[in-house]
Amino acid sequence: MGVCFVPWIKKKKCVACKKCVKKCPTDAISMVKGKALIDDLKCINCGKCVRICPVKAILGDKDKMDVEIKANIKLLKKSLAKSKNKKDQRQIIGNQVLQLRMQRKVIKGTLKELENIKK
Ligand code: SF4
Ligand code: SF4
Protein backbone atom coordinates (compact mmCIF):
# COMPACT_ATOMS: atom_id res chain seq x y z
CA MET A 1 0.00 0.00 0.00
CA GLY A 2 1.23 3.48 -0.76
CA VAL A 3 0.48 7.12 -1.26
CA CYS A 4 1.44 9.00 -4.40
CA PHE A 5 0.20 12.41 -5.50
CA VAL A 6 1.71 13.13 -8.92
CA PRO A 7 -0.98 13.06 -11.64
CA TRP A 8 -0.98 10.13 -13.96
CA ILE A 9 -2.31 9.37 -17.41
CA LYS A 10 -4.84 6.80 -18.44
CA LYS A 11 -3.06 5.67 -21.59
CA LYS A 12 -6.14 4.22 -23.26
CA LYS A 13 -7.91 7.58 -23.08
CA CYS A 14 -5.02 9.72 -24.40
CA VAL A 15 -5.67 10.94 -27.96
CA ALA A 16 -2.15 12.40 -28.38
CA CYS A 17 -3.28 16.04 -28.80
CA LYS A 18 -0.11 17.16 -26.94
CA LYS A 19 -1.94 19.99 -25.15
CA CYS A 20 -0.58 18.79 -21.81
CA VAL A 21 2.97 18.65 -23.20
CA LYS A 22 2.76 22.30 -24.31
CA LYS A 23 1.12 23.46 -21.06
CA CYS A 24 3.44 21.76 -18.56
CA PRO A 25 5.71 24.41 -16.97
CA THR A 26 8.49 21.96 -16.14
CA ASP A 27 8.61 19.89 -19.35
CA ALA A 28 7.61 16.88 -17.31
CA ILE A 29 5.39 15.42 -20.04
CA SER A 30 6.63 13.75 -23.18
CA MET A 31 5.05 11.60 -25.85
CA VAL A 32 6.09 7.96 -25.75
CA LYS A 33 4.72 5.57 -28.35
CA GLY A 34 1.92 8.02 -29.15
CA LYS A 35 0.82 8.50 -25.54
CA ALA A 36 1.61 11.21 -23.02
CA LEU A 37 3.88 10.22 -20.15
CA ILE A 38 4.65 12.17 -16.95
CA ASP A 39 8.13 12.21 -15.45
CA ASP A 40 7.42 12.07 -11.70
CA LEU A 41 10.78 13.64 -10.87
CA LYS A 42 10.09 16.75 -12.94
CA CYS A 43 6.42 17.18 -12.01
CA ILE A 44 5.65 19.92 -9.47
CA ASN A 45 1.99 18.88 -9.27
CA CYS A 46 0.60 22.19 -10.52
CA GLY A 47 -2.45 20.46 -12.03
CA LYS A 48 -2.35 22.35 -15.34
CA CYS A 49 -2.23 19.16 -17.40
CA VAL A 50 -5.22 17.74 -15.54
CA ARG A 51 -7.29 20.82 -16.34
CA ILE A 52 -6.29 21.13 -20.00
CA CYS A 53 -6.71 17.53 -21.17
CA PRO A 54 -9.78 17.53 -23.45
CA VAL A 55 -10.60 13.87 -22.85
CA LYS A 56 -9.91 13.74 -19.10
CA ALA A 57 -7.10 11.25 -19.58
CA ILE A 58 -5.04 12.76 -16.77
CA LEU A 59 -6.11 12.03 -13.23
CA GLY A 60 -5.51 14.54 -10.47
CA ASP A 61 -5.24 14.16 -6.71
CA LYS A 62 -8.92 13.60 -5.96
CA ASP A 63 -9.46 11.03 -8.73
CA LYS A 64 -6.20 9.43 -7.88
CA MET A 65 -7.00 9.17 -4.19
CA ASP A 66 -10.21 7.28 -4.98
CA VAL A 67 -8.33 4.93 -7.30
CA GLU A 68 -5.55 4.38 -4.73
CA ILE A 69 -8.01 3.68 -1.93
CA LYS A 70 -9.78 1.09 -4.09
CA ALA A 71 -6.43 -0.45 -5.07
CA ASN A 72 -5.37 -0.65 -1.40
CA ILE A 73 -8.61 -2.32 -0.39
CA LYS A 74 -8.35 -4.76 -3.30
CA LEU A 75 -4.82 -5.66 -2.21
CA LEU A 76 -5.91 -6.11 1.39
CA LYS A 77 -8.82 -8.36 0.38
CA LYS A 78 -6.39 -10.47 -1.64
CA SER A 79 -4.23 -10.97 1.45
CA LEU A 80 -7.28 -11.72 3.58
CA ALA A 81 -8.48 -14.36 1.13
CA LYS A 82 -5.23 -16.28 1.64
CA SER A 83 -5.68 -16.72 5.36
CA LYS A 84 -8.15 -19.22 6.76
CA ASN A 85 -9.15 -17.89 10.15
CA LYS A 86 -10.56 -14.68 11.54
CA LYS A 87 -7.67 -14.20 13.97
CA ASP A 88 -5.11 -14.10 11.13
CA GLN A 89 -7.33 -11.78 9.15
CA ARG A 90 -7.65 -9.40 12.09
CA GLN A 91 -3.86 -9.49 12.43
CA ILE A 92 -3.40 -8.58 8.75
CA ILE A 93 -5.83 -5.67 9.03
CA GLY A 94 -4.16 -4.53 12.25
CA ASN A 95 -0.74 -4.54 10.57
CA GLN A 96 -2.06 -2.48 7.69
CA VAL A 97 -3.61 0.03 10.07
CA LEU A 98 -0.28 0.38 11.91
CA GLN A 99 1.60 0.78 8.64
CA LEU A 100 -0.77 3.46 7.36
CA ARG A 101 -0.65 5.32 10.67
CA MET A 102 3.13 5.27 10.49
CA GLN A 103 3.01 6.64 6.93
CA ARG A 104 0.66 9.38 8.11
CA LYS A 105 3.14 10.34 10.86
CA VAL A 106 6.01 10.41 8.35
CA ILE A 107 3.99 12.61 5.99
CA LYS A 108 2.95 14.97 8.81
CA GLY A 109 6.56 15.23 10.01
CA THR A 110 7.82 15.86 6.50
CA LEU A 111 5.19 18.56 5.90
CA LYS A 112 6.20 20.25 9.15
CA GLU A 113 9.85 20.25 8.11
CA LEU A 114 8.92 21.63 4.69
CA GLU A 115 6.99 24.45 6.33
CA ASN A 116 10.08 25.25 8.44
CA ILE A 117 12.29 25.30 5.33
CA LYS A 118 9.83 27.65 3.60
CA LYS A 119 10.08 30.24 6.43
S1 SF4 B 1 0.97 18.61 -12.81
FE2 SF4 B 1 1.97 20.41 -13.71
S3 SF4 B 1 4.15 19.94 -13.58
FE4 SF4 B 1 3.07 18.02 -13.27
S5 SF4 B 1 2.97 17.10 -15.28
FE6 SF4 B 1 1.07 18.26 -15.00
S7 SF4 B 1 1.48 20.27 -15.90
FE8 SF4 B 1 3.45 19.26 -15.58
S1 SF4 C 1 -3.86 16.49 -23.16
FE2 SF4 C 1 -4.74 14.49 -22.70
S3 SF4 C 1 -5.21 13.62 -24.70
FE4 SF4 C 1 -3.81 15.32 -25.06
S5 SF4 C 1 -1.78 14.33 -25.08
FE6 SF4 C 1 -2.16 15.04 -22.99
S7 SF4 C 1 -3.05 13.25 -21.97
FE8 SF4 C 1 -3.17 12.88 -24.15
Q: 100 C-alpha vs ligand 1 centroid, how far in Å?
A: 27
Ligand 1 pocket residue status of 5, Cβ below 6 Å: no
Helix (H, G, I), strand (E, B) or coil at 57: coil
| Domains, in order of start, for the chain | 1-59 (3.30.70.20)
Q: How far apart are the C-alpha atoms of 22 and 6, rounded to whole Å? A: 18
Residue range 54-112, pLDDT digits in tens: 999 999 877 878 888 899 999 999 999 988 889 999 999 999 999 999 999 999 999 99
Ligand 1 pocket residue status of 36, Cβ below 6 Å: no
Q: How far apart are the C-alpha atoms of 60 and 4, rounded to whole Å? A: 11
